[in-house]
Structure 1
Amino acid sequence: MGETLQEVVDAGFTEVDLTDGWLRPGDLAPTRLEELRATLAKVGLTAPAISAIRRSVIDPVDGDDNLAYSHRTIDAAAALGVPLVSVGLHRPLTPEQQSVLWFWTVPGPKDPVGDKEMWHKAVTRLRELADHAASVGVELSLEMYEDTYLGTADSAVALLADIDRDNVGLNPDLGNLIRMQRSIESWESMVTKTLPHANYWHVKNYYRVEDPAKGIILTSPAPMESGFVSYRQAVKIALAYGFNGAFCVEHYGGDGLSVSAANREYLRRILPERPSA
């Protein structure tokens, strides 16, 4: 644990998202949670968020277990002093997705479109998590992801409105949507619709090549400053809407930590300087 976190520090980070693909805080005993807290303090890191990944509370197989796990993750966040938990409705990768280089090139599980009962179940369960989070002083953020009820800007905003809780916002992870090898809504439109409701932001970018005549769309990971989305413009739009949450820099492939560090520096260059106190 300490060695991995030290690598994050050595890459120049002072904050870390405790993504549960690395460590599951919601499954740690109190003594292990205290060990994690002490290790973070020892290496000089703070955690603005815990991201619970592929733990859909409406998964047809594991939805009940994921709901219980999400509750435990909220309690772990409160115990660690982490102010926000990011959750989503995406499910585990299929064997077919795991067998290819880039998993998003193969269709994955989909939330049933137009299923009012399933939509209501998502609203009810996410609202339950929101109420629990509010009771322990934690915010909840909903990560956007393809082919879920958080898979388009309009659907994500509608789901948030139905949940109707002040401590819940969106995590508009544009990368999860622009990497789809199909036609997509413009990133400018998605930013304009979702950032007024955002309280956390996973940021990553992709190259996107389209040949309409041949019906070919190809995508691959890119550094934030080089890819399809102009994050310089996206961040300006976000700040104009009052976004003041944390950014979590991400990257797939290669030395992801180093590319994420470069993404951090890019963000620092384009963010306006705060006036001195």
Structure 2
Amino acid sequence: MSSTTNLPYAPETWPIASAMIHRQNALPDGRTVQDQRPEEWAEALAEVAGAGFSHVDPTDSWIRIADLEPSRLAEFMDVARSLGLSIPAISTARRSVIDPEKGDEFLAYGHRLVDTAAKIGASAVSFGFFGPLSDAQKKALWFWTAPGVVNPDDPAVWKMAVERIRELGRHAGENGVEVALEMYEDTYLGTADSAVRFVTEVDLANVKLNCDLGNLVRLHRPVEGWQSMMAKLAPFAGYWHAKNYYRLEDETTGTVMSSPAPMEFGVINYRAAVRMALQAGFRSAFLLEHYGGDGLSVCAANRDYLRRILRATSVATA
């Protein structure tokens, strides 16, 4: 019997969330989204609902819901529910628990995030080891084409990373929350082999990998093929940031170029990748991201494409 039988959701109800990366935390009037009134939050979230989403990840590059006072968190959740939006998971960005200056602060934040996820009924939290954008990345059209923070080749720092994620993972497990570790270049999760080694060392059933292959295939350098990476990652797949890229390689010059693409048109074949994950036991939510242009509308089209894949998989295993 195929392991894709007995899936936890029907294709039409599988949690597929929109990220909020199309919105900035800093506002033109000097405030941040943290300071906004509920009706202002409603304006942003209504866009997501209007694009046909019933799930949203508040994405802490937009708002840090774990740092809202209890009454403000209640207001935020009231706004989301009033628009028919639920929160299946929460993603962190550039708040690494091994940051050389703020690692302790971000670890404490991670624990608050786990508590917040449990409080609001979110099933997963995504963490990564990527740092703040460098000056070169801030100036670039596509930030991934410029060098950024690199995790140190230091066994002591690797060990600390494992121990801190295990600490968060145990806390999350006590609350029925999954931890997903985001693939990202030049970090301890920057290749499939390194990511599998890392999650294996953490060795907790609720700590999985966020198989964000898009973060790797967009790099202007040689990378392992997505099929090979996915075969290694699938048994560990958890909450999944899904996006795609066009990738061009000139073998004669070594030139590599990339740009964002709708999921069905990019270099990653998500029909095959999703099937691989489901066959290996993937049962978590998806998050859709897209950089450039009208990212929300592209994510809405990606949602429909992903549901078509889930429907086809459901029929094939019925």
Q: TM-score normalized by structure 1? A: 0.96
Matches within 5 A, 1:83-102: 83-102=123-142
Distance 1:145 1:131 in 2: 23
Match among 183, 189, 192 for residue 144 of structure 1: 183
Stretches of structure 2 lacking an aligned partner (at least 5 in a row): 1-40
Partner secondary structure for residue 249 of structure 2: strand
1:73-102 per-position Cα deviation (integer Å, ceiling 9, x unaligned): 111111211111111111110111001100
Q: Does residue 73 of structure 1 match 2:113? A: yes
1:100-150 per-position Cα deviation (integer Å, ceiling 9, x unaligned): 10000001111123x110110000111111111122221111111110001
Match of 1:36 in 2: 76
Q: Does residue 208 of structure 1 match 2:247? A: yes
Query: RCO greater where, 1 or 2, for CA within 8 Å and sep 6 or more?
Result: 2
How far residue 151 of structure 1 moved from its aligned partner, in angstroms, is 0.5
Distance 1:226 1:233 in 2: 13
Q: Does the Cα contact within 8 Å between 1:33 and 1:76 map onto a contact in 2?
A: no
Identity of aligned residues (%): 56
Match of 1:126 in 2: 165
Distance 1:61 1:219 in 2: 32
Instruction: Report how many residues are paired.
Output: 275
Structure 1 residue runs of 4 or more that deviate by more than 4 Å after TM superposition: none
Distance 1:102 1:157 in 2: 28
Match among 204, 217, 233 for residue 256 of structure 2: 217
Partner secondary structure for residue 87 of structure 2: strand
Match of 1:154 in 2: 193
Distance 1:141 1:150 in 2: 11
Match among 180, 201, 225 for residue 186 of structure 1: 225
1:232-259 per-position Cα deviation (integer Å, ceiling 9, x unaligned): 1111211211212111111000000000
Match among 258, 270, 287 for residue 231 of structure 1: 270
Q: Does residue 106 of structure 1 match 2:146? A: yes
1:26-81 per-position Cα deviation (integer Å, ceiling 9, x unaligned): 21111111111111111111111000111110111211111111111111111211
Q: Does residue 26 of structure 1 match 2:66? A: yes
Distance 1:139 1:230 in 2: 26
Q: Does the Cα contact within 8 Å between 1:141 and 1:168 map onto a contact in 2?
A: yes
Q: Does residue 17 of structure 1 match 2:57? A: yes
Q: Does the Cα contact within 8 Å between 2:211 and 2:238 map onto a contact in 1?
A: no
Distance 1:236 1:133 in 2: 27
How far residue 272 of structure 1 moved from its aligned partner, in angstroms, is 3.0
Distance 1:17 1:195 in 2: 22
Match among 301, 307, 310 for residue 262 of structure 1: 301
Q: Does residue 54 of structure 1 match 2:90? A: no
1:147-203 per-position Cα deviation (integer Å, ceiling 9, x unaligned): 000111111111111111111111010000101100000100111111111121110
- Amino acid of the structure 1 residue aligned with 2:88: P
What is the aligned-residue RMSD (CA, Å)? 1.3
Q: Does residue 168 of structure 1 match 2:204? A: no
Partner secondary structure for residue 170 of structure 1: strand
Match among 273, 284, 289 for residue 250 of structure 1: 289
Distance 1:238 1:261 in 2: 22
- Amino acid of the structure 2 residue aligned with 1:229: I
Q: Does the Cα contact within 8 Å between 2:235 and 2:280 map onto a contact in 1?
A: yes
Distance 2:249 2:176 in 1: 45
- Amino acid of the structure 2 residue aligned with 1:255: D
Distance 1:215 1:142 in 2: 31
